[in-house]
Chain A
Amino acid sequence: MTCLPAHTDKRLGLVIDLDTCVGCQACVTACKEWNTGGHMAPLTDIDPYGGNVDGVWFNRVHSYEHTTEMGGRTVNFPRSCLHCETPACVTVCPTGASYKRASDGIVLIDEDKCIGCKLCSWACPYGAREFDTDVGVMKKCTLCVDRIYNDNLAEDDRVPACVAACPTSARHFGDLGDPLSAVSQLVAERGGVDLMPEMGYHPTNKYLPPRAHTTRAASVPAPALEPVRTEGGFLGWVDRMLSN
């Protein structure tokens, strides 16, 4: 049913730190590697070694130049499904293929019901859904639903592949519905924001803005080296002899 659950027991999602993301694309690659064999498999690539390479990815990292009166900086920006509280991508689905889970709030697609009308991708303001032209159905991030509850994995590994791969710990996974969870506290502490709040989709995933420019950085240069003191005596004589 594409009607939304009135309440979800948990609100699982990601918190992405734009301050520490270095744009290495490790999350992108890890996501592709896991999911091309996972719940929404395959993540088809079209003409992967040709001139018109195209394919399905759940996670894409953009790079932006953010310029304010404080100066400019590069911001690397991972973009994936935000598992919104009121996702229009689900309600527009005519077949019931798209759904939001009442248990944890994850937005998923039942590939066997999808007719590939693409309307859900039009309804998503964030570009989270990508159409697989080869299979003829829509695909999207599953929040690695086949990892996070997977008893076959060590408990530490039961996080989305992108979170596990991030070398700078810029990606955090947890229950954003629980105000005491580590991710909720991180959002509160760092002033995490919603993307396009004016759209009214109430995204679950939060983004932590880059920290403010600091004045504590090494703005005072290290003290200059002192000139060698001229000495008398034996050492002074050696110094003069060698300097000649």
Chain B
Amino acid sequence: MSLIAAAQVSKWYGQVIGLNDVTLSVPPGITGLLGPNGAGKSTFMKLVTGQLKPSKGRITVLGEPIWQNPDLYFRIGFCPEQDAFYERMTGLEWVTALVRLNGGGETAAIEAAKRALDMVDLSSAAHKKIGAYSKGMRQRVKMAQALAHEPELLILDEPLSGMDPIARRKTITLIREWGRSGRSVIVSSHILHEIEAMTANILLINQGRILAEGDVHQIRDLIDKHPHTVHIRAEQPRALAREFLASDHVLSLRFEADAVIVQTGKPDLFYAQLTALAASNDLGIIHEVTSPDDNLQAVFQYLVK
């Protein structure tokens, strides 16, 4: 069973499109949602947490529609992106009050809140007012309220933002342990290495569309189906360009000082041709061949371009 299933989901804010005809299936485990600011990550998160209703299509979470289905929130914990709190409350009061909204008694809620604060390493500041917390502490107390009721699915919107390196490492460890304990996490970020540290399973989103979904290797394969850019610094770039233009697999060309930048639809064929040309030495020396697609970060930048 998929954790989240979206079928042709679109969301408009008036004339502005937030999410465009998205169909996907998120498997159990930890999934990273990658995309630049304004890509539609928050819209997706809000749809998944039932704060927004799809303008079109259908979205289910844990097998049930989420919109106007409060019962499902027993199974979901959500840590929103925004830095918003009841500032006058202490961390413990705030988390307790929110846990109480899940039912149960006061004592059980206090215990759960204390446990959650301990998990995010905030026990020592539990009785301090949230207004006096640092940015990192605020992120952690937000995490605590999301996981205090021990949900099946944890949805974290930019959870590491503002955390110091130690807290960041602890939080990443916490998320990985959460996943290892058989529960699921969806975590959004615009920083790839954060996601890489947590999971290999990612969703790439940009301009309201899911560009790719799967693990890092699948993403890499997907890259090959997209135009591939190669930067060639050479003695005679214009002569090289003339050769490339004769080939079907070259999609576009442009020049930069002593270099030519080629976009190809068939990287394997292109690299073979380039190797042959370099070996023949007929068109001068080829100094350097680079591709911006040489790691996952480049893949992300490439796909969201």
Asked whether A and B interact, the reply is: no
A-binding residues in B (CB < 8 A)? none
